[in-house]
Amino acid sequence: MPERTESESRKLLRRLRDTLAAPGDGQARLDSITHHIADSMRTQVCSIYLFCDPDTLELCATEGLRRQAVHQTRLRLNEGLVGRVARTGRPINTANAPAEPGFRYMPETGEEVFPSFLGVPIQRVGEKLGVLVVQSREAREYSDDEIYGLEVVAMVLAEMAELGAFLGNGAQLSAHRLPLVFRGSTGQEGSAEGHVWLHEPRVVITNPVGDDPEKERARLTEAVAMLRQTVDDMVDSADLVSGDGEGVLEAYRMFARSRSWLRRMEEDIDLGLSAEAAVEKEQSHARAKLESTGDPYLRDRLHDLDDLSNRLLRILTGQGRNTGIPMPADPILVARNIGPAELLEYGRSLRGVVLEEGSVGSHAVIVARALAIPLVIHAARITSDALNGDPILVDGDTGLVHLRPEETVAAAFRDKIAMQTEAQKSYAGLRDLPAQALCGTTVKLMMNAGLMADLPSLEGSGAEGVGLFRTELQFLIRSRVPRRSELAALYLRVMDNARSKPVIFRTLDIGSDKVLPYMKRIDEPNPAMGWRAIRVGLEKRGVLQMQLQALIRAAEGRELHVMFPFVADCDEFYEARAMLMAQMEREAAMGHAPPTGVRVGAMLETPSLAFAPEAFFRACDFISIGGNDLKQFFFAADRENERVRKRYDTLSAPFLDLIEMIVNRCAATDVPLSFCGEDAGRPAEAATLAALGLRVLSMRPASIGPVKALLRRTDLAALKALIDTERAAGTVTLRPVVARFLGLT
């Protein structure tokens, strides 16, 4: 068989395009396409298999196999060579198909066995649509050029499917019509029903085939030049802001300048693709690799390529971000990832958020919590499957997302939302009542905050103050270091909004997962245990000093509460407190009226601090247990790593022993103690902490109602007695008995 030339490939693609343009139904188009491909590639067989549900492929058209098999022959993903191509997203090329592992003879397709087989996936930016196969009688492997040529054809088929060219052929051709379920993880609890609003809508390519390669190359070159210019501008403006900021952006710039990337796209154009189809073909390849690689460096680079491809597609097609389309009235934002500032811009107009990436502590999650919007993270590939306006249900409690749900699912979901609304109403009735347990003990419930957007919840939730104000959020949502005057104005507004209720400001806790976009990223093997929080503050003193000055100025005429994060050694606390006192003197010397009093506390987030000398406890005005970090270091289990995080339970005897020891040490030294990690807002955990002696719990505003309701119907003394008995008997996992006692099972 002769090698295929560029012009043959282009001729074939033109025929495909004419097929697309000609009137006719989907089936007629598919039939004519298989005929053209077999003819052009001089093979006896050409077949198109398409997904009829997410696990099954159906033979939808063929030249060379029995016609009767069309729409009859079906394959599961684990069946046959066709199933393997679909599963792996990679071509199979063999001269002896029957000898290949997994080969399945399908008698209904014809008596004959064809030894040579070449199958390539039909996919669009990582979304698998089906498999294109050619087979011939002559036992031979297909050349690299032929494989490449068939991939280009498959790419055009994918684009044609996206445009609806094959609708009405009897099979479900577009994954965009099926109901789908995504199993992600909880970012923020709550449920919402609405319609998809894509943060970055899919670019639609209406002309996958290019007539004139010279013209397409020129279009590509021009678009790439524009892309490079934007990337250069991005790098330069990042430099202007912070004096550094290269790192990530530099790698990005290198990619934008990659010769091999451009060369591959030019080769695609030479075979007959339009410039945009060439960009998308390489993007699909990168996505397929992204799914199969575990190497974090390579993943980052492939993400860069994906992002650059999207930008390039927008330049080439002129399709911007959702321009001209009205946002639905009940938008659920669907995105690969989103920055905190962008999410804040959407604000409370969103009903929910679904991300493909993100992590429990990521900035977007923090903002979604502040806005009290249900959020699901790790919903793999949802941006490929969702279209603007699709109906969608988001269950932030379980991490499940239903896209284009069946009516029965939607009805059950609505019942759940109605029940939650009812529960919220009953919590609202408790708002002004104390969290007083049956045994008479009263627990103070405070809320965690970090944005102005949080403050209205202080009133609505009945919180007795802000037990943790995460000041880093103001730094994270900006593109530069905020000025002292800006911070002072914000802190003042926060205190004004809180009226007479106390606000405990935690100083900047950056590092670990909270990386400021404008700070030089330092490569640390273990950032959670690296240069973060107070460690940064004591070394890069300028920023912490500036923040302390802003706090002192804002607190003029009232009491100031400052808390230092992640203190692992008592000397760190002493040094930070000395810094605060020095700033007090400086501010006074400059003529600023001082706060009426200053209370200085430490966050106990590492086991080491629980064993600090007694003098340390006496030196603190208060201590707050940062349970999220304390737990991760106690169990040596990364709080961001779903796989290990879930193995260890707060309600286990060793962790509760540690908490009790801290409670006792604080009681012995008369230091007020609170708990402000996520566990404070989980009812069973909150009741257990209270039973162990914690009298202040600080949590998300939405948790105050459920926690208060449970505490008011619990005898904490009896719960403590039960926990003691179980621990004495050697029970390690206390959750089942605690849950039963609390009536939560």
> Distance between alpha carbon 7 and the CA centroid of its chain, in Å?
44
Kindly list the strands in the beta sheet with 92-94, ordered across the sheet, starting from the edge strand earlier in the chain: 74-76, 56-63, 45-53, 127-136, 116-124, 92-94
Q: Cα separation of 33 and 13, whole Å? A: 10
Give the residue with the Cβ less far from Mg ion, 197 or 675.
Answer: 675
- Other beta carbons within 10 angstroms of residue 474's beta carbon come to 19
Stretch that binds Mg ion, among 201-209, 577-585, 622-630, 683-691 (CB under 5 A): 622-630
Using CB under 5 A, which residues numbered 91 to 110 contact Mg ion?
none
- Asked whether position 626 contacts Mg ion by CB under 5 A, the answer is yes
Residues near Mg ion (CB under 5 A), total: 3
**Residue 511 touching Mg ion (CB under 5 A):** no
Quick one: DSSP state of residue 522?
P
The residue type of 724 is D
| Per CB under 6 A, 187 contacts ligand PEP | no
Site map for Mg ion, 567-606, x if CB under 5 A?
--------------------------------------x-
Using CB under 6 A, which of the segments 385-393, 414-422, 523-531, 624-632 binds ligand PEP?
Answer: 624-632
Decide: is 629 part of the binding site for ligand PEP (CB under 6 A).
Answer: yes
Contact indicator for 362, 513 with CB cutoff of 8 Å? yes
374 near ligand PEP (CB under 6 A):
no
Nearer to ligand PEP, 465 or 677 (CB): 677
Q: Which of 285, 363, 378, 561 is catalytic?
A: 363
* CA–CA separation, 105 and 101 (whole Å): 12
Element containing residue 469 per DSSP (H, E): strand 466-470
Candidate list 403, 477, 676, 694; residue touching ligand PEP; CB under 6 A:
676
Distance, CA of 458 to CA of 495 (rounded, Å): 11
Cβ at position 527, least distance to ligand PEP in Å: 12
How many angstroms separate the CA atoms of 2 and 383, rounded? 42
Q: How far is the CB of 677 from Mg ion (least distance, A)?
A: 7
3-state SS assignment for residue 323: coil
Q: Decide whether 281 or 506 has the Cβ nearer to ligand PEP.
A: 506
* Residue 592 designated active-site: no
Give the phi and the psi of residue 303 in degrees, each rounded to 5.
-65, -40
Our finding on whether 626 is near ligand PEP (CB under 6 A) is: yes
Q: Which stretch binds ligand PEP (CB under 6 A): 163-171, 425-433, 620-628, 737-745?
A: 620-628
Separation of alpha carbons 458 and 434, rounded Å: 15
User: Of the candidates 629, 660, 678, 726, which one interacts with Mg ion according to CB under 5 A?
Assistant: 629
CB of 566 vs Mg ion, minimal distance in Å: 6
63 contacts Mg ion (rule: CB under 5 A): no
> Measured from the CB atom, is 284 or 632 closer to ligand PEP?
632
Residue 736 tokens read as: 């089942």
| Residues 591-610 contacting ligand PEP, CB under 6 A | 605
CB of 626 to ligand PEP, least distance (A): 3
Q: Please spell the DSSP secondary structure of 153-210, one letter per residue.
A: HHHHHHHHHHTTTTTTSSS---GGGS-EEEE-EEEE--EEEEEEEESSPPPP-S--B-
Three-state secondary structure along 676-709?
A: CCHHHHCHHHHHHHHHCCCCEEEECHHHHHHHHH
Least separation, in Å, of the C-beta of 571 and ligand PEP? 21
* Cβ closest to ligand PEP, residue 127 vs residue 605: 605
Distance CA 197, CA 719 (A): 47
Does residue 680 belong to the site contacting ligand PEP (CB under 6 A)?
A: no
Of ligand PEP, Mg ion, none, which one does residue 677 interact with (CB within 5 to 8 Å by kind)?
A: ligand PEP
Would you give the distance in Å from CA 605 to the centre of its chain? 26
The yes-or-no answer on residue 199 being catalytic is no
Scanning 148-156, 235-243, 311-319, 626-634 for contacts with ligand PEP by CB under 6 A, the matching segment is: 626-634
> Strand 56-63 and strand 45-53: pairing?
antiparallel
Binding footprint of ligand PEP on the chain (CB under 6 A)? 468, 470, 509, 605, 626-629, 676-677
Binding site residues, Mg ion, CB under 5 A: 605, 626, 629
* Catalytic positions, written as ranges: 363, 676
